[in-house]
Structure formats: structure tokens, C-alpha cells
Amino acid sequence: MRTRTATPAGPAAAGAAAARPAPDGARTGPPPGRAELAARQRAGWDPLLEWLAARHGAALRVGEGISFIEQPAEALAALEHWEPEALHAAVEQVAAALELKMGKVAQPLRVAVVGAAASPGIDVTLQLVGRDACLHRIDKAAALIQARAEQN
């Protein structure tokens, strides 16, 4: 004989069940909407933009598509030669892997490294700033963004 487990009925119950996290920590239910994603991005980027404005007088305009991406730091740290060709290839590979145009990866990287939205090509900029300084500045930007996200 089969037994049935009683479950709440109705749309509200279905929505509550979908919102519950899975035992392995994976999110169940619908993905976050645009408003939630935009709020998350603002929470992460606003502190960096405010810091850049206060510290360097950078007046950046925020547009759609700017997001913090950790992969460039990992790709750059793995480079054996800190030369423009290798740097360009690393940024290009990250963009391709993320299915983004190169500018969507290079621009946030540029802001993290030089504190400005304009600079020479990202490969030349990274070489001129130097390996250690670049990696330090990227880590510092990531920490700032993470700290701000945790505050919200």
C-alpha cells in the first residue's frame, strides 16, 4: 500500500517550495530578475566608483554591461611573460570564454588598474603599470567591491 505525504496546496505553496534552497546550496526556482541583478551590480560597483571619484577625481559614467569579473586576475597571474602580446591574448581569451566582447572585460580591468576609463590599449596599459602593481590593484578593487556587497 502506498502512502501519501500531505503537502500544502495552491500557488503560494508552490512558490514557497520553489524559493527554498536545495540541500546542496543550489538555488531553486526562477533566476533573479533584472532589477535584482542591477541592484547587485550597483552594490558592487558604487563603492569603487565613489572611491575613484574621491581619490583620483575620476568622473565615470556607468552604463549597462559593466561588471566585475575575477577571471582576468587569474589569467594575468598565470602569464609567464608580461608583454603586450601575451597580455592582450589573456584578456581576449577571458572575454571569449565568458562570451563577452573584449571591451566588457578590458574596461572594468582598466578602471581597477589605472582608476580611469581612458588609457592606452589594455595590453600596453598593463605592461606599463607592471605585473605586481596590476595584480595588487585588481585584488584591491575586488576586495572593495566584496566589502561593499557584504554591507548591503
Single out the residue of 15, 126, 147, 111 nearest to residue 75, CA to CA: 126
What does pTM read for this prediction?
Answer: 0.54
Quick check: is 43 in a domain? Answer: yes
Q: Is 30 helix (H, G, I), strand (E, B) or coil?
A: coil
Q: What is the separation of C-alpha 138 from the centre of its chain, rounded to a whole number of angstroms?
A: 11
Domain count, the chain: 1
Quick check: is 12 in a domain? Answer: no
Q: What is the CATH number of the domain that holds 99?
A: 1.10.10.350
Q: Which residue range(s) make up the domain with 140?
A: 33-151
Quick check: is 2 in a domain? Answer: no
Quick check: is 129 in a domain? Answer: yes
User: pLDDT digits over 13-28, tens only?
Assistant: 444 444 445 555 555 6
Angstrom distance (rounded) from CA 50 to CA 53: 5
Quick check: is 37 in a domain? Answer: yes
Angstrom distance (rounded) from CA 138 to CA 126: 11
User: pLDDT digits over 42-51, tens only?
Assistant: 888 788 888 8
pLDDT for 87 beyond 80 = yes
CA angle 119, 59, 146 (to 5 degrees): 85
30-58 average pLDDT score:
78
